[in-house]
Amino acid sequence: MRFVSDPSQLLPILLVVAILLLVAFPVHEFSHALAAYRLGDSTARYLGRLTLNPIAHFDPLGGFFLILTALTGFGIGWAKPTPVNPANLAGGRQGEALVAFAGPLSNLVMASISAVPLQAAQLLGVHLPDIVITVLSLLVLFNLLVGGL
């Protein structure tokens, strides 16, 4: 196991890990819960998971692995899976597919939001600080990876 060899990369990596744990993972899981709720399944709501609160979606082991593996050059981590009862969903298998797709779609949206400032700065010839470029680039990459895209 090789940890980050360039100390200047430590802060951007830790910032990205924090954003993933506090924003990307909760938004991903909330999206599954919201889609399920809109299709008739209240399971996530009853269990307090129809929220953007990161604490409700935090998995200690998944968070620990994300920090450890991000420091070794790749990031593997996870949040608590959103509970869904397919029997409660309208639309049968199509409803299940919509719930499943909601999480990765949210990551695609977050990756796009992270990419916009990078593209805008490049098009306008604006110089962004290196740490901003690194963090935004890693957010694009990790959101695409979390979303399975």
Q: Assess if residue 1 is contained within a domain.
A: no
User: Band of the pLDDT at 29, cuts 50, 70, 90?
Assistant: very high
Number of domain units in the chain: 1
Lowest mean per-residue pLDDT among 2-11, 41-50, 95-104, 114-123: 2-11
Q: In which region does residue 91 sit, left (phi positive, over 0), alpha (psi from -120 to 50) or beta (all else)? A: left
Per-residue pLDDT at 2:
58
* Structural domain that includes position 69: 7-146
Between residues 14 and 58, the one the model is more confident about = 58
Provide mean pLDDT across the span 55-64.
Answer: 96
Q: Assess if residue 110 is contained within a domain.
A: yes
* Residue 74: pLDDT over 80: no
User: What's the DSSP call for residue 22?
Assistant: I
Q: Considering 25, 27, 29, 43, which one is annotated as catalytic?
A: 29
User: Nearest 5°: phi and psi at 83?
Assistant: -75, 130
Active site residue 29: yes
Per-residue pLDDT at 71:
86
Q: Assess if residue 83 is contained within a domain.
A: yes
Within a 10 A sphere around the Cβ of 11, how many other Cβ atoms?
A: 12
Residues in the chain: 149
Q: Assess if residue 2 is contained within a domain.
A: no
CA proximity to 26, closest of 48, 59, 57: 57
Distance (Å, whole) CA 74 – CA 78: 13
Per-residue pLDDT at 95:
96
Q: Assess if residue 100 is contained within a domain.
A: yes
Tell me the pLDDT tens digit for each residue of 92-116.
Answer: 999 999 999 999 999 999 999 999 9
